[in-house]
Copies of this chain bind each other. A is one copy, B any other.
Amino acid sequence: MRQSKLFTKTIKDAPKDEVSLNAQLLIRAGFIHKEMAGVYSYLPLGLIVLNKINNIIREEMNAIGGQEVFLTSLQNPELWKKSDRWSDDIVDNWFKTKLKNETELGLGFTHEEPITALMKSHVNSYKDLPRYVYQIQSKFRNEMRSKSGIMRCREFLMKDLYSFNRSEEELDKFYEEAKNAYVRIFEKCGLGDITYITFASGGTFSKYSHEFQTVSEAGEDLIYVDEEKKLAVNKEVLNDEVLADLGLDRNNLVEKKAIEVGNIFKQKTKFSEPLGLKFTDSDGKEKPVIMGAYGIGPGRVMGTIVEVHNDENGMVWPAEVAPFQVHLIYLGRDSKIQSAADQLHKDLTEAGAEVLYDDRDESAGTKFKDSDLMGMPVRIVISDKTMANNQVEYKLRKGGDAILVDLDKIEQKLKEK
């Protein structure tokens, strides 16, 4: 894509009230726009990243048998009263609104109640189980404070998968598959090394739930990490009994700040009982369906990637989620060089490379600064200097020296990594 056509520009200063690093960088680079505290729009480059993350998630959810749906934000109170989650005294982050006839509606902060209710139309027998249903859809949470950029929003995209099983054994088996799928998702998003499966509170229905916590100074959680076992415990459940239970030694644990990028829960019959999602088992008996819930916020993952992959000049996108793989920069005002740059853009794009082509009439300084801020994995510079020997300059955003590569070898070079 030609940068001269891209409608977004880099912006010198993020809004003064924006305190989070992720939002500051993303706003300055033109990836997102702040509508108000905790409410951000995605602009073209940001949306490409978000969709890449969504597709990584989608691929892994499909691989473990997930079927995609798209539920609504508007919520019928009747369903939430059944599970006792309608009252603001019990759930303190509802956004509520009203129909013309004064009927109160909610804006979904999660979707256990509606998905459980709708499954009643499609599950009767053990033959209809297991089922795994997910969506990537907007959630609304009326947060008191919202100062973490796109990591804690009042409106945000969430992937939520719900599992419907016949027995706890069947749930346990799927739960492990989901856990492994999550590990793969964070690996693909460039967060694998620093993301820990973390034991957290299981609520009333399970001993533990599991969080996926990415170590970062921007994190709101404290976790205790056993680096060797690649496991962690959330501070909220850390006690001797839990450590004994998990076979962890307090002396091997290191305290770290971390961002919760995903969580998985065994909910068992917490929602199926009150909402009446039952099935007839092979023994002829009617039983409540055994449920689990599995969440990831793609926007929060994006914010986390920015928090952990940046330097003083800007963002440093991992290849899998970068908006473009290559930032091709043309320098100078020589029409012959510009033609060569145009041709290279065309050739690389036709060869399947994702190329953002800075064809703007701007100084080298501006172009380099913008390029560093935006953070594409590879920068290629083409100028009269490089073209003197029919070469281009190749440099990785994450570091290392700039090297000169023959123009006719650059396509090959890009395939190397």
Contact = CB atoms under 8 A, between A and B. Distances in A.
A198 B99 CA distance: 32
Contacts of A67: 6-7, 44
A357 interface: no
Given A107-B97, A138-B138, A44 B73 contact: no
A131 interface: yes
A73 B73 contact: yes
Interface in A129-167: 131, 133, 138, 140, 142, 144, 154-155
Most buried by B among A6, A35, A140: A35
A40 interface: yes
Contact of A74 (B39, B71, B100): B39
A327 B39 CA distance: 43
A50 interface: yes
Interface stretch (A114-122, A332-340, A377-385): A114-122
Interface in A37-81: 39-44, 47, 50, 65, 67-76
Interface string A85-129: 000000000011111100000010000001000110111000010
A33 interface: yes
A19 interface: no
B44 A122 contact: no
Number of copies: 2
Contacts of A36: 74, 76
A181 B44 CA distance: 21
A169 to B, nearest CB: 20
B9 A118 contact: no
Interface in A258-299: none
A323 interface: no
A7 B42 contact: no
Contacts of A30: 122
A239 interface: no
Nearest to A70: B42
Nearest to A69: B43
A9 B74 contact: no
A121 B33 contact: yes
A188 to B, nearest CB: 22
Given A7-B122, A122-B7, A155-B74, A35 B69 contact: no
Contacts of A154: 74, 99
A8 interface: yes
A49 to B, nearest CB: 11
A15 to B, nearest CB: 10
A207 to B, nearest CB: 29
A99 to B, nearest CB: 7
A44 B71 contact: no
B138 A73 contact: yes
Nearest to A75: B35
A36 B74 CA distance: 9
Given A35-B74, A50-B70, 6 more contacts: A36-B74, A41-B70, A42-B71, A44-B69, A97-B107, A99-B154
By Cβ-Cβ distance, the 10 closest A-B pairs, closest first, are A42-B70, A7-B131, A41-B71, A33-B118, A95-B97, A97-B97, A44-B67, A36-B76, A74-B155, A39-B74
23 contacts: A7-B67, A7-B122, A7-B128, A9-B121, A9-B122, A9-B128, A11-B121, A33-B118, A35-B74, A35-B75, A39-B72, A41-B70, A42-B69, A42-B70, A44-B68, A47-B69, A73-B138, A73-B155, A95-B97, A95-B98, A96-B97, A99-B154, A100-B144
